[in-house]
Amino acid sequence: MKIKKINFKKYRAINESGKIKKIQLEQNHILDLNIYGDEIQNILCDVYGNEISTWKTEYNDIGKISKSYNDSNSKKNFHYNENGLLIEMLFFFNEQIEYKLQYEYDDEEGGTGDLISEYRIDEKAQNFTKTLYDFDSSGNNLERTRLKQKNGITTNEKFYKNGQLTHEHFFSYDLGEKTSTICYTYDLFGNLIKKDSYFAPDGNASVEEYDYEFDNYQNWTKQIVNKNSMSPIVIEREIQYF
């Protein structure tokens, strides 16, 4: 079955003698999809279900995103090369460019056509982000991101296996030291069930564990997140099918 609509609701909760009790709705949004599984509308609502803002997405004749826009004078324009590969995304607010994303591919003669870099330029904030995409010796994806902000430059490495993010490292570029590591664990269906975070140099650690309830199509309808001694988070998904 193909999903037509998902209503997400995120709650703050408490654990009463091992029983999770929802106490406050914090986020509420509705995602509409087309028959191909592409997002066509994302509606953010308040806790009473009233619409706050809506992002709409349009596609061209070959199924590529042509533009995305909301009702707050923001929009994204997408540009492709002759091979149908995305080469640039421009984000506008009040018709002025806020930032842009540029993409490079291994598309020279004999190349694989794989994405090899993504470059974000934010001229107003004088920031930039460059992400390089590569493969390890086993053919799994590897991402390296270098982020320049006003307080310095940081780097991040992400490692994948079978398309799933398995772990990532964060570094302080200026100090040349690893600042944290996050490891991810999944169940047999690809659902995240555990996230272990380790922080240097103080050696602190945190653990997030995820429990699920599923519908008859093995799509989860409830996710419960427990993190150390913090209050649990409950996310519910009401799913409609075509």
> Residue 88: inside a domain, yes or no?
no
The CA-based angle 52-78-6, given to 5 degrees, is 40
pLDDT of residue 208: 95
With respect to residue 115, please indicate whether it lies within any of the assigned structural domains.
no
* Integer Cα distance of 28 and 49 in angstroms: 7
What pLDDT score was predicted for residue 151? 60
Q: What pairs with residue 3 in β-bridges?
A: 241
Q: Confirm whether 9 is domain-assigned.
A: yes
Please list, in sequence order, all residues whose beta carbon lies within 8 angstroms of the beta carbon of residue 12, skipping any fewer than 6 positions away.
22, 23, 24, 26, 231, 233
Q: Report the DSSP beta bridge partners of residue 128.
A: 121, 148
Which residue range is the domain that position 234 belongs to? 1-69+219-242
Beta-carbon count within 10 A of 140 CB: 15
60, part of any domain: yes
Residue 173 inside a domain? The answer is no
38-to-31, 35, 44, 217 alpha-carbon distances in Å = 10, 7, 18, 19
Whether omega for the bond prior to residue 201 falls within 30 degrees of 0, making it cis, is yes
Name the DSSP letter for residue 229: T
Whether 211 maps to a domain, the answer reads: no
**Contact status, residue 225 vs residue 208, Cβ threshold 8 Å:** yes
Two structure tokens written together for 29 = 């949004």
Q: Give how many domains the chain has, as a whole number.
A: 1
Asked if residue 158 is part of any domain, the answer here is: no
Per-residue pLDDT 10s for the chain (242 aa) are 899 999 999 999 998 888 999 999 999 999 999 999 999 999 999 988 899 999 999 999 889 999 999 988 899 999 999 888 999 999 999 999 999 999 999 877 666 788 999 999 886 766 788 899 988 777 788 898 887 766 667 888 999 998 899 999 998 865 568 889 999 999 999 999 999 999 977 788 999 999 999 999 999 999 999 998 789 999 999 999 99
Supply the DSSP symbol for 44: E
What global pTM score does this model have? 0.85
Does the residue 225 lie in any domain? yes
> Tens digit of pLDDT for each residue in 173-199?
655 688 899 999 999 999 999 999 999
CA-based end-to-end distance of the chain: 7
